[in-house]
Structure 1
C-alpha cells in the first residue's frame, strides 16, 4: 500500500494548471485520468492520484511560499540527469525556476535537486539523493 494515496492541489486557473502539471506528471509516470468541470486527475501505478482543482472563489490569489500551509512537494528521481530532465520539462511547460539543478551539501554531499513554481505559487522539487553506498 502506498504511503500517499492522493494529493489535491487547488490552482488559480484550472486550464493553465492542467497545461503546467500534465507534462510534468506524465514524465514522472502518471497517467492522465481526465478532466471534469472543476478538476483534473492523474494516476500512477493505479494507486497514487494527483488532482488539480479549480478555485472555489472568483478572486483566488496564488499561494505564497513561506505562508502557513503548502511549502513544496519533492519528487524523488533516479539520477542527476533525471533531475535536469524534469527541470527542463517543467520550465518548458511554464513553471518558473526557483532554484536551478545543483548539489545541496547542507542536506548531504549526494543531494542534487531543483525547485520550480507554477503560476498558482505551487512549488515542487525534483531530487536525487542516493544512499551513501550508491554515491
Structure 2
C-alpha cells in the first residue's frame, strides 16, 4: 500500500540505533543514509525513513508484518534490548482476530511500534 513512510525523530542516533536493532529480525536494514536521515527497507521497494527534527512529532503507531510468530518474538526481544519499553508482549490478540499474533514496544520518541503475524501457529 505504501511506497514509503517518513517521520521526524528528536534524537536521530538513538532512533536509528533502536529501529535497526528492533527490526533486524524482520530483515529490515539501512538502504541509504544522509546526514540526519536514514532509509530502512527489507525489499528495496517499501521503506521507512527517519529524519532528525526539532519539531515535536505526534506519536505514531507503526505496524510491521512478520512472516511467522517467531519473528514477532524476536522483534520484541530485540526492541527491548535496544532500549524500547514493553507495550504488549508477544501473544494472540483475539479481540482483533483469531490469528492476530503481535507484540508492541514504545520507541525512543514514544511511538508505538508493533510487529504482527496473521499466520496460524506452525
TM-score, with normalisation over the residues of structure 2? 0.86
Deviation (angstroms), 1:62: 6.2
Larger displacement relative to structure 2 (3-12 or 122-131): 122-131
Question: Which residue, 45, 48, 52 being the options, matches 2:46?
Answer: 48
In structure 2, how many angstroms separate the alpha carbons of the residues matched to 1:14 and 1:49? 17
Task: Provide the residue aligned with 2:109 in structure 1.
Answer: 120
Q: Find the aligned partners of 1:33 and 1:111 in 2 and give their Cα distance.
A: 29
Instruction: Measure how far apart 1:85 and its partner are.
Output: 1.1
- Give 1:81's aligned residue: 70
| Counterpart position of 1:95 | 84
RMSD: 2.1
- Residue 67 of structure 1 corresponds to which residue in structure 2? none
Runs of 4+ in 1 over 6 A off after TM superposition: none
Structure 2 spans left out of the alignment, 5+ residues: none
- For residues 62 and 6 of structure 1, the distance between their equivalents in structure 2, rounded to whole angstroms, comes to 18
Query: C-alpha displacement at 1:38, in angstroms?
Result: 2.0
Residues 30 and 41, structure 2, Cα contact 8 Å, conserved in 1 = yes
Contact 1:25 1:42 in 2 (8 A): no
Deviation at 1:23, TM superposition (A): 1.6
Q: Which one has a larger percent strand, Structure 1 or Structure 2? A: 2
> For each residue in 1:87-123, what CA deviation from the matched residue of structure 2 results, as whole angstroms up to 9, or x when unmatched?
1011111111111112111112221111111110111
| Runs (5+) with no aligned partner, structure 1 | 65-69
Cα gap change, 1:62 to 1:94, in 2 (>3 Å):
farther
Whether the 8 Å contact between 1:62 and 1:119 is mirrored in structure 2 is no
